[in-house]
Chain A
Amino acid sequence: MDISDAFEALMFYIFAAVALISAIGCVVSSNIVRTAMWLLGTLGGVAGLYFLLFANLLAAIQLIVYAGGILVLIIFGVMLTSKSPWQTFQPRRWEVVLAAVLSVLIFIGLSATMLSVDWSEGAATIDANATVAAIGKTLLTAYLVPFEVASVLLLVVMIGAAYLARAEKRT
């Protein structure tokens, strides 16, 4: 284990802690604006993890589209759909216990499954310096049809969202 491995491990634990603690903060905070701010922490931590995984383009997209776009959309949604910014909805106690037990079971099941597999055989690594060029080439050759379908999907979503959210008299 050399110094770069140690640095990578340190950065992994920092980003993982930021992402996980912010995700838990999303659940714990009852105010919806604070929940959205905790989501920003998770998105930033996941973007850092993408950098560690050599996915530079994805990390940039994550920061621009998620933190810059979706989060602003969510904040606007909060502002347009609540009378007071401090409005809260408290779940009942038995619901909290049931949901916590269920999600701990999901975590145990997922991690037991992942730990039971030997992932080391047949592993390959990617060239860390050429991921953006490789993504561009693959996206416009092997994934050309999904790429075009995705652009049509965005157009449909734009029209649909504008239609659904238009000003309308209550009947």
Chain B
Amino acid sequence: MTIGLTHYLILSAAIFSVGVLCMMLKRNAIGVLIGIELLLNSAGINFVAFSRYRTGAMDGQIITVFVILLAAAEAAVAIAIFMNYYNNHATIDVDRGTALRG
């Protein structure tokens, strides 16, 4: 069977739901960040697949470039916040972060 757009869409849906599961189950803040990376990757697969099979233009691939860029920026800021949080709470368990002041 020839691989078409639907195959990529189903795979992307599967990776998306696994990423949501990862975000919900991890209590380590970095685990939540890894779940977010899975979600961004599944979105990227969708954009590139539509770019190849549907539009025939480069817009999907360029948007995926921006998605990767935003993921890098988000990871840098998130890990800086986690280090600050670890300095204040001596753990990065997300369930313990119930107060705004450290």
Contact = CB atoms under 8 A, between A and B. Distances in A.
A161 to B, nearest CB: 4
Contacts of B53: 119, 123, 125
Contacts of A70: 37, 71-72, 75
B25 to A, nearest CB: 5
B63 to A, nearest CB: 9
Contacts, number: 233
A125 B18 contact: no
Contacts of B6: 114-115, 119
A107 B17 contact: yes
Contact of A53 (B21, B25, B52): B52
A9 B1 contact: yes
A123 B11 contact: no
B58 A81 contact: no
Nearest to A80: B83
A157 B76 contact: yes
Interface residues of A, number: 82
Interface string A106-141: 110011001100010011111000010011001100
Contact of B18 (A5, A27, A115): A27
A165 B84 contact: yes
A150 B84 contact: no
A125 B56 contact: yes
Interface string A141-160: 00100100010011001101
Interface in B12-41: 13-22, 24-31, 33-35, 37-38, 41
Contacts of B28: 32, 89
Interface string B57-73: 11101101110111111
Contact of B13 (A36, A114, A131): A114
Contact of A111 (B13, B25, B86): B13
Nearest to A115: B6
B80 A82 contact: no
A70 B30 CA distance: 12
Contact of B51 (A16, A55, A81, A165): A55
B44 A46 contact: yes
